[in-house]
Amino acid sequence: MFQVKVQGTESMKVTDLMDINRASWNWELIAGIFNEQDREAISKLVLLNRDREDKLIWKFNNQGNNTIKSAYRYAMETLVDNEEYRVPGDWIRMWKMKIPQ
């Protein structure tokens, strides 16, 4: 998972990390923000469709929005694949509860 090293860059978009004129990554900027492991992962990403508008997408729910429910479901189905960690209960009913914010 990518970890940002510099405060104040949390709202950056992917296009902010690109050098549009050269159709490549802005490695100077990336080096100042990301750790070595994340830079290596970014180097494996191929830049395509640079004319498209940048947007946030969470692939683990149908609307593309990150929610506690979708993150929990992802964790349970992907990260924790062990029955001893699963908690029995009526989880469907719990997720449908109307809780004030």
Cα radius of gyration rounded to whole Å, the chain? 18
Q: Which of the four pLDDT bands, split at 50, 70 and 90, describes residue 25?
A: very high
Q: Residue range 10-24: average pLDDT?
A: 82
- Ordered by start, the domain boundaries in the chain are 1-53, 56-101
pLDDT of 58-96, one tens digit each?
Answer: 777 777 778 888 888 788 777 665 667 667 778 788 888
The one-letter amino acid code at 83 reads E
Rounded percentage of the chain residues whose pLDDT exceeds 70: 78
DSSP string, 34-68: B-HHHHHHHHTPPP--TTSPP----TTSTTS---H
